[in-house]
Structure 1
Amino acid sequence: MIKTVQSLAGDIGRMQRESGMVMATVASLADDELERPTRCAGWTRAHVIAHLARGADAMTNLATWAVTGQESPDYESAAQRDADIEAGARQSAADLAADLEQANERLLGAFQALKSGVRVRTLPTWPAGEIDAFSLPARRTTELILHHDDLGTTWELHEADPDSVLDAIEVYVRRLQGNPDSPGLRIIAGEGDEWTVGDGSFRIEGYYEELLAFLTRERVEEGLQYEGELPKLPPW
């Protein structure tokens, strides 16, 4: 996934599209609907939405760091991140939706500022390692479409922009390539793209949304093609 200042306009546009679809879903949920479980083990819908809001704030810090050259605040501990999400998940449906919308607006402003250039191009993150500042909008879009799907509403991955799904696949393939516990994979998309992880010993084929569902959640959708037992992927 090679991103540049020239690709920002398209990437930010896709992020806004996916963000708008997420907000439409979130705004439609009543208080009791927020308590339902999701595809994220142990998390309700409220937890997922709170996670998206705090994730937006974290990316705002990174984008601001890239533009100003001033290092963002130290990363919170895992315990503090969990506490922030728990606190967010206790909000009403209306307050939680407003929290996410405001976080999205702050993030959009920070991403727009990237168009004027950056002082820090490579940023350290956890768990993705070092990332290109210009890849931030595509990475946010990845979070949006995956967690939108995790909510378990009527929205499905095939409703995302194909380029958004493609970027998400590449984000996760890069993580697999950098993880020594990843199995060897040859990943072939029906749309024509291909990726290799490790020695490429296990071949798996499918269209974008089928591949993404497996790579991110080990979910086997109809149409995914493989032989033998699917390998176990490392947790994120």
Structure 2
Amino acid sequence: MTDGTQTPADACAWARIGTELMLNAVAGFDEAGFSAPSVLPDWTRKHLVAHVAANADGLHNLVHWAATSEPTPMYASPEERAAGIARGPSLSAGELRSWLTGSSEKLAVALDRLTGEQWHREVVTAQGRTVPATELPWMRAREVCVHAVDLGTGVTFADLPDGFLAALADEIRDRRQLTELPDGPLPEVTAWLAGRPHSLADAPELAPWL
């Protein structure tokens, strides 16, 4: 496996790649396409797209916090976060595309405007972790890259950058406290770690991560 070291510049690039994959996928969805099941259990593509759009809005709040030093929670409450996902099925195909596109562009612009000092200001994630703003691009890269696969349109982990896969594999391995990984290509090992479909033989089943 390749080195999982990553920089904020790397993460920004991966976030752009994942966003492009997401936007290209939903561009061709009609109502039936959006309403089809995603790879994630019990979630349609509408749920998934609403989640990714709401995530961009939440991360934008944290970028505002870093830019202004004004505490701005990612979500007002856990209920607000859940409501954003639940809102998805009630929206039309056009409304979901507009929300995903607009929120993604707004976040990207805000990240690009952060100065050197602002990048190192601390914010608090929805999980209660205190992190520097330099971690925000990585948080977004994970969302868009993994969920681009979850849309089930043919995008696989093999379509994602090797550096991203290595960084993601390292993170999930540490979070799951695994000391050994099965042998296999990096995309398949990362898919397994994330609890997604893979081609590894005899690897134990893992619950979805992220």
TM-score range, shorter chain: 0.7 to 0.9
3-state SS of paired residue (1:70): coil
Q: When you count strand as a share of all residues, which structure comes out higher?
A: 1
2:156 maps to: 156
Partner residue in 2 for 1:186:
179
TM-score by length of 1: 0.76
Contact 1:138-1:168 within 8 A present in 2 as well:
no
Task: For 2:156, give the aligned amino acid.
Answer: E
CA offsets, 1:140-189, max 9 Å, x none? 11111111111111111111111222232234344x1xxxxx4x5224xx
Instruction: Answer yes or no: is the 8 Å Cα contact 2:27–2:97 preserved in 1.
Output: yes
Shift of 1:78: 2.8
CA distance in 1, matches of 2:122, 2:158: 32
TM-score if structure 2 supplies the norm length? 0.84
When residues 110 and 214 of structure 1 are mapped into structure 2, their CA distance, relative to the original with a 3 A threshold, is same
> What is the CA distance between 1:138 and its match in structure 2?
1.8
Instruction: Determine the structure 1 residue equivalent to 2:40.
Output: 40
Amino acid at match of 1:186: T
Give the aligned partner of residue 222 of structure 1: 199
Kindly tell me the number of residue pairs found equivalent between the two proteins.
207
Distance in 2 between residues matched to 1:235 and 1:19, nearest whole Å: 19
Q: Name the structure 2 match of 1:213.
A: 191
Aligned to 1:197: none
Name the counterpart of 1:83: 83
* Shift in alpha-carbon separation, 1:20–1:235, aligned structure 2, 3 A: closer
- 1:235 and 1:13 map into 2 onto residues whose CA distance is 22
Instruction: Identify which range, 14-23 or 77-86, moves more after superposition.
Output: 77-86
- RMSD after superposition: 2.6
What is the correspondence of 1:159-174 to structure 2 with a 5 Å cutoff?
159-174=159-174
Greater relative CO (CA pairs within 8 A, separation 6+): 2
| Counterpart AA for 1:98 | S
The alpha-carbon distance between structure 1 residues 124 and 170, as it changes in their structure 2 partners (threshold 3 A), is farther
Q: Quick one: which amino acid aligns to residue 71 of structure 2?
A: E
Q: Tell me, yes or no, if the aligned pair for 2:194 and 2:208 is still in contact at 8 Å.
A: no
TM superposition outliers: structure 1 runs of 4+ over 6 Å = none
Q: Is the 8 A contact 1:69 1:119 kept in 2?
A: no
Identity of aligned residues (%): 25
